[in-house]
Structure 1
Amino acid sequence: MNLFYLLSLILFLCLSGNAASADNEVLSLLRELKAEVGELKQQLDRSNSRIGELEKKLGEYRASKPEIDKPGKEITQAPETVASSPAKQDDKPLVTLGDVKGTFKIPGTNTSVGIGGYVKTDLLLNSVSAGADKLGDQKLLLSQIPVGGASGEHSQLTFHAKESRLWFKSFTPSAWGDINTYIEMDFFGNPGTYNYTPRLRHAYGSIGHFLAGQTWPTFLNAAAIPDILDNGGSAGSLFLFRQALVRWSQPFALAGTAMEWQTAIEAPRSRIWDSTSPSANSNDPNAYSFFSNPDADRYPDLVTRLNFSPEWGTLSIAAMGRQIRYTDSKLGLKQEAWGGAVSLAGKINVFNLDNIRFMAHYGNGHGRYVSTDNTFSDASLDNEGNLYLTTSYGGMLAYQHWWNKQWRSSVVYGYDQAEQPDWVNQVLNQEVQSLHANLLWSPVNQAVMGLEYIYANRKLLDGREGDLQRLQFSARYNF
């Protein structure tokens, strides 16, 4: 209305000040302005009418809504009904998608959490049994292959679901970088065939480039692990174990290629063949372990690794230094020696989805990192208390072929050898090798089924050897 009066005043002044000389063009302009003002007034009336209708509907809604906001009023609605009522603008949804695929955010926080894993059932037909309640019948352990005509059960059948896994992870942004945590477990905690004891596999956290916890050792490039059904791993590869460590990872680029430098201090654990120990001199070549862990470690294992990530795959070079230490307070004996090792590993994409994976290693004093559990020692202790590091070396080569998007196969061969002093027990391992060949089918992303043939061999220092042939069927369902 004020705009209407203002325009009327302007019209009056114009007409009174120069009525005689006003031309038709000015009068026409003033008439148009008056018409527009009238139209605006009509729109305002219609808006006021619509507001009145909405206020009436809001009053009817409030009259029918349960009084859950009044102090002392008991809430009688079901939780899902209350949650579906209109929320205030500053209320947050109960569940929102997380910042990482497959996660959701904890209400009221910036933390994204996820849960997953898989259920896996393995059916294994072994040419010869490793023995009652031995892990060697459930996954490949080269040190448990029967040797020298051992009277193990032939055509032995094992069913188990111990490799089934469960994991939890979280991601939280911070001014210091993303804070990530990860925990994973399986059920290999007890060697008994029908004993499903949970076992911690991974448990670590990281902030930015700094990681601390239990996970794959830095000396191992996990991207080079072959795609096989067997959980024990191949000869020639590094032992697929996890240990506590503290690690820094620094990404950078060189000539346009993504690279990463990692350095870590990791949990030490010396594995020694002790000539003075009765168990180390057993004449039974099928004894599970001839080694002792003196628990006298003083320095952590020191590891550094350089990772290359070109377009054609990934490649890593790693070096490790570690102290092997032995003490005996009763004899007043203290022996220690520093050893080291190097490794080369990677995955090379060849064509389509096919790829080549490989690992190679050489060093002394790194037997604990080699092949499967208890294959070689880190060092040997003679009768005079002298400590000799064990030199070992080997390699693994795998080729994976994709027949189509659902079917794939891998062929993997690996070999390891250790150089032992002449005076050690001659039933210790001199060399091991294995061959894996499989056919896997994934009808959907959440399921994998397959058949795998395994041949493995171990040879002792005295020349005796043993073979294992295994046919394994596995079914895995991811969630």
Structure 2
Amino acid sequence: MAAYNNMIRRGALFSLSSLALAVSLSAQAYQFEVGDTTASIYGYAKLDLIYDVDNDLGVFGANPNVALDGEQVSTGHTRLHANQSRLAFETSTPTEQGALRTVIEGDFYGGGGGQFRLRHAYGEWNGIRAGQSETNFGTILGMTRIIDFKPQPGLANGARQGQLRYTTGGFSVALEEPGALGGGVASGFSAVNGRPAVHPNNKNSVPDVTMRYSGQAGDFRYGTSALLRRLGVDDGAEKNSATAWALNLEGEYRVSSAVTLRGSVTHGDGVGGYIEEAAGASAYVDPVSGEVKTIRATGATASIQLAAGPGNINLGYGYTTADLDGAVQDGVANAELANETMTDIHLNYIWSPIRNVSYGVEVSRHTRKIANGDDGDAVRLQGMVMYRF
């Protein structure tokens, strides 16, 4: 369910996972002047070639689609698509208090694939950003550079949502849409894929609050983020709610010109979809007492990038797990079938024969474990061709 699972700059055009494809290359943009305003158009066309050795993981390598051992599923699925192709428009207008900047960007993952979808739409002036943009909770520092559009489990989920953000120096604070990325209170879980079902009386009463500080010490870049949320249900007669929180630490260390290490840790109580491929839900309603109870979750990533020839070899691991013991003991619907732990391991080689052209090949292994201990795994092979402008 999207509600639970789910460096933009001219030289950083990509989503969290796809930024890996050309993060070391500066993108080109078509620029023109309109009065005092400089406008830029940029983007890329990308073909993804995917073969799922085991069961079909979908357009993304989604862990909830991994079949559990013993389930009867078809194997060997191929797809080719260009949904990640992107188009963006940016303006910059000088003022007496700094540049006024606007960004509108979209791709073609809308409608299940093939329709234009809004990604970014915001303005920024004098430290204030307003509109839809990537969350202020975490960034790409701890992310493995992979070809799959979906980042690895355990990463602080950098998807985009409505927000009002203020930045000064390395510090930023934001009020963010509470019902999108993080998700809300669950009434139970799906017996098919372990995903949570939104409670019919779920209520988003106040914005999520995020804070972040980023810095650099020599060849080490780091960031730390905090999240505060309010989760609740309200049927008009009775209200119940709980406070949720989360912390994130991430870093990137350039060991040498050929070796870069990255990693992150995220932990919280009620963090929900702010962790990529969140296992479990943000919270649930106790079917006996009606109390809203938050679910603790932890995520982590680690990777190494090695320069080789005209490109880089990337090897990375992602992990996320949720504490579902309380939901099982309280008798929440299908809690024993809920997703408890997800892991990914990716190995790829991404290279550029010429500027603005990138190729890549990748193999990945995805796992899923549910609360009753059953588990499964699946292997995906993926290639890509990207042309940037």
More helix by percentage? 1
What is the match of residue 21 of structure 2? none
The aligned counterpart of 1:393 is 298
Q: Provide the residue aligned with 1:417 in structure 2.
A: 321
Corresponding residue of 1:327: 234
The Cα shift of 1:449 comes to 0.6
Aligned-pair CA distance for 1:349: 1.0
Q: Distance in 1 between matches of 2:315 and 2:69?
A: 28
**Correspondence 1:474 to 2:384:** yes
Task: Determine the C-alpha separation between the residues in 1 that align with 2:233 and 2:265.
Answer: 28
Question: Taking structure 1 as reference, are residues 250 and 169 closer, same or farther at Cα in structure 2, changes over 3 Å only?
Answer: same
Deviations 1:436-457 (A, max 9, x none): 0001121012111111011010
Contact 2:367–2:375 (CA<8 Å) still a contact in 1? yes
After alignment, is 232-241 or 460-469 more displaced? Answer: 232-241
Alignment partner of 2:64: what SS? helix
Counterpart of 1:104? 31
Deviation at 1:265?
Answer: 0.8
Question: Do residues 381 (structure 1) and 299 (structure 2) align?
Answer: no
1:112 counterpart letter in structure 2: T
In the alignment, structure 1 residue 464 sits paired with structure 2 residue 374: yes
Letter in 1 for 2:336: Q
CA distance in 1, matches of 2:55, 2:247: 35
Whole-angstrom CA distance in 1 between matches of 2:365 and 2:261: 20
- Structure with bigger gyration radius: 1
**What SS does structure 1 have at the residue aligned with 2:53?**
strand
- Matched residue, 2:15: none
CA shift at 1:398, angstroms?
1.2
**Aligned counterpart for 1:207 among listed residues 125, 130, 137:** 125
Q: Which runs of 4+ in 1 moved over 6 A?
A: none
Q: For 2:385 and 2:30, how far apart are their aligned partners in 1? A: 25
Where 1:388 maps in the other structure, the secondary structure is strand
Q: Cα 1:179–1:142, aligned 2, differ >3 Å: closer, same or farther?
A: same
Instruction: Say which structure, 1 or 2, has more relative contact order (CA 8 Å, 6+ apart).
Output: 2
| Contact 1:210–1:249 (Cα < 8 Å) also in 2 | yes
Cα RMSD between the aligned structures?
1.9
CA distance in 2, matches of 1:397, 1:140: 18
Superposed counterparts of 1:263-274, under 5 Å:
263-269=173-179, 270-274=183-187
For 1:300, the equivalent position in structure 2 comes to: 207
* C-alpha displacement of 1:324: 0.6
User: Counterpart amino acid of 2:38?
Assistant: S
Q: With the length of structure 1 as denominator, give the TM-score of the two structures.
A: 0.70
**Conserved 8 A contact 1:416-1:432:** yes
Q: Counterpart in 2 of 1:65?
A: none
State how far apart, in whole Å, the 2-side matches of 1:342 and 1:271 are.
Answer: 18
Find the aligned partners of 1:390 and 1:185 in 2 and give their Cα distance: 33
- Report the Cα distance in structure 1 between the residues aligned to 2:379 and 2:189, rounded to whole angstroms: 29
Q: Is this contact kept in 2: 1:120–1:477, CA < 8 A?
A: yes
Whether 1:154 and 2:72 are equivalent positions in the alignment is no
Checking the alignment, whether the CA contact within 8 Å between 2:49 and 2:81 is kept in structure 1 is yes
SS in 2 for 1:430: strand
Q: Which runs of 5+ in 1 are unaligned?
A: 1-99, 131-135, 252-259, 275-279
Instruction: Give, in whole Å, the separation in 1 of the partners of 2:125 and 2:28.
Output: 19
Kindly indicate whether the alpha-carbon contact (under 8 Å) linking 1:370 and 1:376 is maintained by their aligned counterparts in 2: no
Alignment gaps of 5+ in structure 2 = 1-26
CA contact (8 A) 1:103 1:112 kept: no
Pick one of 331, 352, 361 that aligns with 2:266: 361
Deviations 1:1-20 (A, max 9, x none): xxxxxxxxxxxxxxxxxxxx
| Alignment length (residue pairs) | 353
Taking the aligned partners of 1:266 and 1:140, their CA distance within structure 2 comes to: 27
Calculate the TM-score normalised by the size of structure 2. 0.86
Cα distance in structure 1, aligned partners of 2:104 and 2:142 = 22
Where do residues 231-246 of structure 1 align in structure 2 (5 Å cutoff)?
231-246=149-164
Q: More strand by proportion, 1 or 2?
A: 2
How far apart are the structure 2 equivalents of 1:197 and 1:103? 24
2:104 and 2:385 mapped to 1: Cα distance? 23
Match among 347, 361, 373 for residue 437 of structure 1 = 347
Q: What percentage of residue pairs aligned between the two structures are identical?
A: 25
| C-alpha deviation, 1:101, in angstroms | 7.3
> For the structure 1 residues 204 and 393, does the alpha-carbon distance in structure 2 shift closer, same or farther, using more than 3 Å as the test?
same
Structure 2: which amino acid aligns with 1:286?
Answer: N
Offset at residue 106 of structure 1 (A): 2.5
